[in-house]
Amino acid sequence: MRPKQTTLRTLLRLFLVVSVALASGQVFARTENTPIVIAHRGASGYLPEHTLEAKALAYGMKADYIEQDLVLSKDDHLIVMHDIYLDNITDVASKFPQRARKDGHFYTIDFTLKELKQLRVTGPFVPALGRNAPKYTGRFPLWKSRFELATFAEELELIQGLNQSLGYDTGIYPEIKKPYFHRAEGKDISRAVLETLKRYGYTSAQQKVFLQSFDAEELQRINDELMPELNIDLPLVQLIAENDWGEKLTQKNDTWEKYDYRWMRTAEGLKKIAGYAEGVGPWFPMLIEKASTGSAFTPNTLTASAQALGLKVHPYTFRADPQQVPGSIGSFEKLLALFVKEVKVDGVFTDQPDKAREYIYKAAPASKTLTND
């Protein structure tokens, strides 16, 4: 009696899932090995990055995870924004013209939350070319409608609220920005992020959360000291940069030097990362090389080496804008095909979660599940 009912219920549930899938034009379902879609700064290809509106849109597009870059305000609020400067996404230069530092930048950490909330937010522009020069042409027009900066708490409440009202189980993917900078300013951003995560119920891998940073020593501190102290255990992701980006600076005597990331892409380095992290986030070109003949790209060994150590591989950033797809690859779909079917990544950071999701959910059952059972 009991098993039969269960079977019937399972069939009914399956029927419902298939009906919904058919209604939305998608007859595929996620499997354990389907790469995850991480909405990079929200649905940032369509709305100003990191605004609550861009996050709500990413949610509606059924991203598996939504990303939050985090910096601290003067009064210790975590603000969801990508840079430690306000220069290229707000009207700070006209609202607070006297508040730039000597280097010409307006630092988030010099402003209170009350001041930050007065700023008007737009998509990224190129300050050197003026406030009307978009970084990405063809996206949501600059300075239209009305957007503001959001706190981490506001965004977590948005996503958790939607998880309740709309019913998806969408994860979060916060990034601690430049811990070395915050420390030089007298602030412990990692502790602030972890305390906020704990307050909102993110305490273990049971919740859908990855915590990322470009700072290896800080991730080790989080793993070895901060998380045990707070009695939480979150999956960490080591982001990998090119040295010349200056993602992390280290102080040597009186000068700041760019951190050397090269060790992370060696066998020994990956082994070390696997000791404190659950995954790596490389720049996607780090995972491929030109084929010896012709112009095609083939995977290098980095993805497979990382995965052999149990590390997930979540490269960034897949952008569908025509001018953002490498010309030699040809189209966004071909770019995704290379990374999903050949490189076999575990997830992608993307500015267009709808397009990535559409491609991956169509392609994945035929690729990952067959190769990985």
| Cα separation, 340 vs 371, whole angstroms | 12
317 cis-preceded (ω within 30 degrees of 0):
yes
Comparing every residue's Cβ against Ca ion, the nearest one is 175
Of 314 and 368, nearer to Ca ion (C-beta) is: 314
**Closest CB 80 distance from Ca ion, rounded Å:** 10
Q: Which of 337, 343, 348, 316 is nearest to 37 (CA)?
A: 348
**Closest CB 328 distance from Ca ion, rounded Å:** 26
| Cα separation, 26 vs 302, whole angstroms | 32
Of 87 and 175, nearer to Ca ion (C-beta) is: 175
Query: What are the E-state strand segments in 41-170?
Result: 65-72, 78-80
Strand partners, 347: 36
Cβ–Cβ under 8 Å, residues 269 and 277? no
| Cα separation, 223 vs 198, whole angstroms | 15
> What sign does the dihedral 166-169-170-171 (CA atoms) show?
positive
Q: Is 82 a catalytic residue?
A: yes
**Closest CB 219 distance from Ca ion, rounded Å:** 14
Query: What secondary structure letter does DSSP report for 41?
Result: T
Query: Which residue ranges make up the site for Ca ion (CB under 5 A)?
Result: 69, 175
**Closest CB 188 distance from Ca ion, rounded Å:** 20
| Catalytic residue, candidates 50, 77, 82, 314 | 82
**Closest CB 69 distance from Ca ion, rounded Å:** 4
Rounded to 5 degrees, what are φ and ψ at 193? -65, -45
Of 69 and 247, nearer to Ca ion (C-beta) is: 69
Q: Is 314 a catalytic residue?
A: no
| Cα separation, 35 vs 137, whole angstroms | 29
Of 159 and 363, nearer to Ca ion (C-beta) is: 159
Q: Which of 141, 89, 143 is nearest to 116 (CA)?
A: 89
Strand partners, 85: 107
Of 87 and 361, nearer to Ca ion (C-beta) is: 87
| Catalytic residue, candidates 40, 77, 182, 314 | 40
The set of catalytic residues is 40, 82
